[in-house]
Amino acid sequence: MGTWHTHPQRIPEPSKIDWDDWHQTLKEDRTGCSYAFFIIAGTHEARVWVGDYITMEISEIFECQKVKGIYKRVLDNSLEGYDNNKKN
Ligand SMILES: [Zn+2]
């Protein structure tokens, strides 16, 4: 679930109207989904954000790097720190 639209920009930048619309979408959940995807296609690149209906946070998401046709896992140092803290 989500919304998409286009911008006449090479790399699209969300406008204040976009941010307001996305936050409104999260407030008015009628989907029963956990997340909503917000896509803006520019003239050369598209960008994607995901909104969390529980936390109401909206974050940009990225495609993982592909090596020889296989997506490479991205390690997040902050998550490693979180795991170490849990063991103590
Ligand atoms: Zn827009």
Highest mean pLDDT among 20-29, 40-49, 63-72: 40-49
Q: What pLDDT digit, counting tens, does each position of 42-62 carry?
A: 999 999 999 999 999 999 998
Please report the pLDDT score of residue 83 as a whole number. 44
Residue 1 structure tokens: 């679930």
Query: Does some domain include residue 35?
Result: yes
Let me know: does 38 contact 19? Beta carbons within 8 Å.
no
Q: Quote the ligand 1 centre to 68 CA distance (angstroms).
A: 34
Query: Does some domain include residue 51?
Result: yes
Q: Quote the ligand 1 centre to 56 CA distance (angstroms).
A: 19
Residue 30 structure tokens: 């009628």
Q: What pTM was estimated for this model as a whole?
A: 0.74
Residue 78 structure tokens: 């902050």
Measured CA to CA, the distance from residue 4 to residue 38 in angstroms comes to 6
Residue 79 structure tokens: 């998550």
Please report the pLDDT score of residue 87 as a whole number. 43
Measured CA to CA, the distance from residue 41 to residue 45 in angstroms comes to 6
Q: By residue range, what is the domain housing residue 26?
A: 2-63
Domain count, the chain: 1
Query: Does some domain include residue 83?
Result: no
Query: Does some domain include residue 36?
Result: yes
Query: Does some domain include residue 86?
Result: no
Q: Quote the ligand 1 centre to 14 CA distance (angstroms).
A: 5
Query: Does some domain include residue 78?
Result: no
